[in-house]
A and B are shown apart, each in its own frame.
Chain A
Amino acid sequence: MSREQMLATLRTSLASNRAWLEAEAHKASHTPPPFVLPPADDLAAQFAAELTKLEGRVYQVADNEEALETLATLLEERQATTAVAWDLAEIGLPGLDKLLAERGVQVLEPVVRDEVRKAQLQVLEPAPVCLSGAEFAIAESGSLVLYHGPGRPRLASLLAPAHIAVIRSDQIVRGLGEAMARLRERYAGTLFDVTSNLTLISGPSRTADIEMTLSLGIHGPPELHVVLVQTP
Chain B
Amino acid sequence: MATQTLHFHDRVDTALHDETLKTALERATTRFVGNRAGAIDALEDADGLRRQARALRANALSKLDELLVRLADQVEARGGKVCWAADGEAARRYIVDLARDRGVKSIVKSKSMASEEIHLNHALEHAGFEVVETDLGEYIIQLAGETPSHIIAPAIHKTREQVSALFEKHLGMTPTTEVPPMIRAARTALRQRFLQAEMGISGVNFGVADTGAIAIVENEGNARLSTTVPRIHVAIMGIERIVERFDDLAVMLQVLARSATGQKLSVYTSIISGPARPDEADGPEEFHLVLLDNGRSRILGGQYVESLMCIRCGACLNACPVYQAIGGHAYGGVYSGPIGAILTPLLQPDLPDAYLLPQASSLCGACQEVCPVGIAIPDMLLRLRADAVKAGKAHPVETAGIKSYALMMKNPLVYRAGGRAARLGSRLIGRKGRIRHLPPPLHLWTHGRDFPQPQGSQSFSEWWEERQKKGRTQ
Contact = CB atoms under 8 A, between A and B. Distances in A.
Interface of A: 1-3, 5-7, 9-18, 20-22, 24-33, 36-38, 50, 54, 109-114, 117-118, 121-122, 125, 138, 140-143, 148-151, 153-155, 158, 175-177, 179-181, 183-184, 191-213, 215, 217-221
B341 to A, nearest CB: 21
A62 to B, nearest CB: 28
A198 B281 contact: no
B183 A199 contact: no
B156 interface: yes
B84 interface: yes
B49 interface: yes
A140 B258 CA distance: 13
Contacts of B224: 154, 158, 199, 219-220
Contacts of A27: 51, 54-55, 58
Nearest to A192: B273
A210 to B, nearest CB: 5
Q: How large is the interface on B (under 10, 10 to 19, 20 to 34, 35 or more residues)?
A: 35 or more
Contact of B247 (A121, A141, A148, A184): A184
B61 A197 contact: no
Please list the 4 inter-chain residue pairs (A to B) with the smallest Cβ-Cβ separation, ordered nearest first: A220-B221, A13-B301, A24-B58, A32-B250
B251 A121 contact: no
B367 to A, nearest CB: 19
Contact of A30 (B59, B62, B273, B280): B59
B283 A154 contact: yes
A20 B394 CA distance: 31
Interface stretch (B23-31, B415-423, B434-442): B23-31
Given A114-B285, A154-B282, A220-B221, A196 B273 contact: yes
Contacts of A26: 55
Interface in B259-300: 263-277, 279-283, 285, 287, 291, 293, 297-298, 300
Given A3-B82, A153-B281, 14 more contacts: A17-B302, A28-B54, A33-B45, A150-B277, A155-B281, A179-B250, A192-B211, A198-B271, A209-B135, A211-B159, A211-B160, A211-B179, A220-B267, A220-B268
A32 B271 contact: no
Contact of A36 (B49, B59, B281): B49
Interface in B216-244: 219-222, 224-225, 228-229, 231, 239
B246 interface: yes
A9 B219 CA distance: 36
Contacts of A196: 78, 272-277, 280, 283, 287
Given A206-B219, A220-B224, A141 B137 contact: no
A197 B273 contact: yes
B183 A218 contact: yes
B140 interface: yes
Contact of B55 (A15, A28, A193, A219): A28
A39 to B, nearest CB: 9
Contacts of A7: 65, 68-69
A217 B268 CA distance: 13
Contacts of A192: 78, 211-213, 273-274
Given A17-B301, A28-B55, A37 B42 contact: yes
A131 B277 CA distance: 22
Contacts of B281: 109-113, 150-151, 153, 155
Contact of A10 (B64, B134, B154, B270): B64
A212 B249 contact: no
Interface in B39-60: 42-45, 48-49, 51-52, 54-56, 58-59
A7 B64 CA distance: 9
Given A21-B61, A149-B280, A210-B136, A155 B44 contact: no
- Interface centre among A25, A141, A204, by most chain B C-beta atoms within 10 angstroms, is A25
Given A3-B84, A30-B248, A196-B276, A206 B59 contact: no
B72 interface: yes
Contact of B225 (A14, A203, A219): A219
B160 A210 contact: yes
B191 interface: yes
A2 B250 CA distance: 33
A206 B59 CA distance: 34
A38 B144 CA distance: 46
30 contacts: A3-B84, A6-B84, A10-B293, A13-B301, A17-B301, A22-B62, A27-B55, A30-B245, A31-B247, A54-B267, A113-B276, A113-B285, A117-B231, A142-B264, A148-B283, A150-B277, A155-B228, A155-B229, A195-B277, A197-B270, A198-B213, A202-B267, A205-B220, A205-B268, A206-B220, A209-B154, A219-B221, A219-B225, A220-B225, A220-B268
B265 to A, nearest CB: 5
B132 interface: no
Interface in B190-210: 190-191, 195-196
Contact of B305 (A21, A29, A200): A21
A104 B155 CA distance: 44
B246 A180 contact: yes
B250 A14 contact: no
A154 B228 contact: yes
A29 B53 CA distance: 10
B254 A176 contact: yes
